[in-house]
A and B are shown apart, each in its own frame.
Chain A
Amino acid sequence: KQEVTQIPAALSVPEGENLVLNCSFTDSAIYNLQWFRQDPGKGLTSLLLIQSSQREQTSGRLNASLDKSSGRSTLYIAASQPGDSATYLCAKRWSGGSNYKLTFGKGTLLTVNP
């Protein structure tokens, strides 16, 4: 069974701090991994997509890494801002079997305090 775990479930940091969100997954047969942001009561916004052949992707203050051998991905947010407050979810698409489905983690609720 494909499982994706995000720890911690919630994180509170002061503004300006650099932070790391963690995502771990079972089964190293990964096709790609995607990070999403979700604001309260809204849909998900795609942040970064890392293919299995890649080790990291960057967009602005965000950097996502992928380590297939250890079954981990991290999302690094530099110089956090109150506007970064949201729930961050990772989702793994696995190779073998159906390539159409993602398995989502339950998310990390991030609060950045001014």
Chain B
Amino acid sequence: DVKVTQSSRYLVKRTGEKVFLECVQDMDHENMFWYRQDPGLGLRLIYFSYDVKMKEKGDIPEGYSVSREKKERFSLILESASTNQTSMYLCASSLYPTGEKLFFGSGTQLSVL
């Protein structure tokens, strides 16, 4: 089975800190995604990447950036964390951009104080 691993299960940061969320997949998937999930708002796409060093903005990219230097690793960066970025962050991957199942990591619950 595909394994998508997020480095931290829970994270607590201070306002203004630079935050890195790491995600690694072990199945040579081309495509990787970062979502955030908030009560009442559902899942919203932040960024996705369809190849190494390639990235595309999702629906809510403001305040975030991403890095994909290697195929298996996709990092989400909060340049200057704010309290409204407190959320559950979910990483996902798929083999092809279309027509394939999406596999998710276990999530990182980030609290910004």
Given contact pairs A44-B90, A104-B42, A106-B40, A99 touches B104 in the complex (Cβ within 8 A)? no
A49 touches B101 (CB 8 A): yes
Report whether over half of chain A's contact residues are helix, strand or loop; otherwise say mixed. strand
Q: Is A60 an interface residue (CB 8 A)?
A: no
Question: Which of A31, A89, A106 lies at the interface centre, i.e. has the most chain B CB atoms within 10 A of its CB?
Answer: A106
**Once the chains are docked, how many angstroms separate the CA of A49 from the CA of B4?**
19
The count of residues in chain B whose C-beta lies closer than 8 Å to any C-beta of chain A is 28
Cβ of A46 and Cβ of B48 under 8 Å apart? no
Alpha-carbon separation in the docked complex, A104 to B33 (Å): 14
Query: Contacting A100 at CB < 8 Å: which of B42, B97, B103?
Result: B97
B102 touches A102 (CB 8 A): yes
Q: A31-B99, A43-B90 provided; 7 other pairs, C-beta below 8 A? A: A32-B99, A34-B101, A44-B92, A44-B102, A45-B104, A91-B102, A101-B45
Q: What is the 8 Å Cβ interface bit string for chain A, positions 44-59, against chain B (1 contact, 0 not)? A: 1110010100000000
The reply on A92 being an interface residue by CB < 8 A is no
